[in-house]
Structure 1
Amino acid sequence: MKFIILDRDGVINEDSAQFIKSPDEWKPIPGSLEAISRLEDAGYRVVIASNQSGVGRGLFDMDTLNAINDKMVRAVNHAGGRIDAIFFCPHPADSTCECRKPKPGLFRQIAERFNIDLNGVPTVGDSLRDLQAGVAVGCTPFLVLTGKGTKTAVDPELPAGTKVFPDLMAVARHLVP
């Protein structure tokens, strides 16, 4: 069984400095839904790991987060793909929780839930903290230049061996030629 772990905002959908606070604000990045379909067709189980501090900050509630994620899942399904699970950290940025990326808590939850070793599992993000969380548990980091990716690409702390691609479709084409 092959797995891939994706960040949500900036990888699958357009990101916003003001947070994605409603289903109406959730807009897929061109090609991202088809990329998930391509990965799923090739036998990948697609799992999301996402910081959602807007919940902890009171910008939106769990019902709204569920509605946003439901819109994403339906859009992916419509494009012929599937998301196997969504893991998220609802805590604010100043939290000391273990699940907020760059800490690897969400990734450990994924490993436990699916009873898998994450060593070598591709993880795709647009920010340094996405990649750091995955690398901490042995994932192979893939940076996309969508979202915050262009800024992240020049960060001196970018994990060694990070593969850089223009977007999620380019990652999917690399993994599934």
Structure 2
Amino acid sequence: GLYKSTGQSKPQVMTLQGQMQMQQTSIAAKVPGRIAQILVTEGNKVEVGQQLIEMDSPEINAKIAQARAGKDMAQSQLDKAENGARPQEIAQAKAAWQANKAASDLAQNTYQRVDRLYEEGLMARQKRDEAYAQYLATQDQTEAARLQYDLALEGARSEDKSAATA
């Protein structure tokens, strides 16, 4: 109305006195922590989604480090499962199997000798039974050692690999 009443084509600059009210908004973080850096100052114009502060949260940082360590541990388990037994472990299992095989062969020969002596009446039945029991025990030990060697050669089961991958 003031513009029209003057009848001029260009508006004049007028200085008016008055009060202006600002809207104040409280902000809060979703996680506990300390303010590390304030990125805006009073009077700055801010846009929607603009970062106002940087937070430093030791608790969150510790949880992130813990999660990364867990991931690294799982990765090492997967690598171990993928790579299988080390060559030294395979050689050790093979050596144990061969040692047990030699002991089993010796126990078999001993039993056969004792059995012949028993048949000729020169050895007690108790000694023959003891030699036979020793022979059977060494056969079982040899089989167990062979299975350990086979496991070392085969490596991790597919289920173990899947669990490590997960």
TM-score, normalised via structure 2 length: 0.19
Greater fraction of residues in helix: 2
Greater fraction of residues in strand: 1
